[in-house]
Amino acid sequence: MQRIEDTTALSTLAATDATASTIAGGQASMADVARRLAPYFARSQSWDRVLAYLRGLLSEAERKNSWQVAEVCGESTPDGFQSLLNRADWDADAVRDELRTYIRQHLGDPNGVLVLDETGFLKQGRHSAGVARQYSGTVGKVDNCQIGVFLSYASPLGHALLDRELYLPQAWTDDRARCRQAAIPEDRRFATKPQLAQQMLARAFAAGVPAAWVTGDSVYGDNRQRRRWLEAQPQAYVLAVSGKE
């Protein structure tokens, strides 16, 4: 379900592990990551594949797709990794929560900044979850793509992705048969990008992620309701405002 969401936490854990090992006082290791992630995978076969995938993400491969990760891991085809990412039984939200704990422990700082942004993933066809003709800042125009809304964390100790949500256009959420075909949960309803951003920020605040500021572009700053919500937390913010409000 919603694979751009599911893989983000795994990729970020690998990247954060590589970064954190160079931070003074931080000796993160693959063994620690393995210990943290093991409870969230139902089968040992999937778990072995996860460890290989993480090692591939930390490799010198130019592009970190399934083909190149398989190649650096000595496998002739990407089938095993594609099966892990598309069909294996694992709890993506629990892995995300573990990632948040990991980042808070290794990168957390009172002067940290929570950064909101979205990006587009160009897609052909109409069967990938959330794909539609919509504006993508990645290519600077309307195109057939998925849009992911992301929350990242930056501090004097480093930076990493913290959370993610897949933006589902209303044409998707109004078509429950199409949602079921793409394995989108029945309770998922339409939410704007600022609403998705608020959901992620609420999770970060509830988890005690230390942050002096929240920042983002006018997609989030133009929403007066979201600004008032931040003020009620209370949480300082610096958000772009386009003047179109």
pLDDT of 63 strictly over 60: yes
Residue 23's pLDDT is what? 36
Position with higher pLDDT, 194 vs 46: 194
pLDDT in tens, 142-167: 999 999 999 999 999 999 999 999 99
The domain of 234 spans 3-41+90-239
- What is the rounded average pLDDT of the residues 116-143? 90
The alpha-carbon radius of gyration of the chain (Å, integer) is: 18
- Which uninterrupted H or E stretch holds 33? helix 30-37
Output the pTM of the full model: 0.82
In a domain? residue 61? no
Q: How many CB atoms lie within 10 A of CB 166?
A: 23
| DSSP bridge partners of 135 | 142
Residue 245's pLDDT is what? 62
- What is the rounded average pLDDT of the residues 40-67? 83
Q: State the Cα–Cα distance between residues 209 and 201, nearest whole angstrom.
A: 10
Q: Which amino acid is at 143?
A: D
The single residue listed with the structure tokens 């599911």 is: 6
- % residues pLDDT > 90 (the chain): 51
- What is the rounded average pLDDT of the residues 15-27? 43
Q: Which amino acid is at 161?
A: L
Q: How many domains does the chain have?
A: 1
In a domain? residue 119? yes
pLDDT in tens, 207-237: 999 999 999 999 999 988 899 999 999 999 9
Residue 24's pLDDT is what? 35
Residue 10's pLDDT is what? 56
* φ, ψ for residue 242, nearest 5 deg: -85, -20
In a domain? residue 7? yes
pLDDT of 195 strictly over 80: yes
Both tokens of residue 188? 């998922």
In a domain? residue 163? yes
- What is the rounded average pLDDT of the residues 14-28? 44
In a domain? residue 65? no
In a domain? residue 111? yes
pLDDT of 26 strictly over 50: no
Position with higher pLDDT, 19 vs 55: 55
Position with higher pLDDT, 242 vs 134: 134
Position with higher pLDDT, 20 vs 194: 194
pLDDT in tens, 70-120: 898 888 899 988 888 878 888 889 999 999 999 999 999 999 999 999 999
- What is the rounded average pLDDT of the residues 18-27? 40
Give helix 44-57 / helix 79-86 axis angle, nearest 10°.
Answer: 110
Write out the DSSP string of 81-132.
HHHHHHT--B-HHHHHHHHHHHHHHHH--TT-EEEEEEEEEE--SS-STT-E
Are 143 and 173 spatial neighbours (Cβ–Cβ below 8 Å)?
no
Residue 41's pLDDT is what? 83
In a domain? residue 77? no
Confidence of residue 9 (pLDDT cuts 50, 70, 90): low
In a domain? residue 55? no
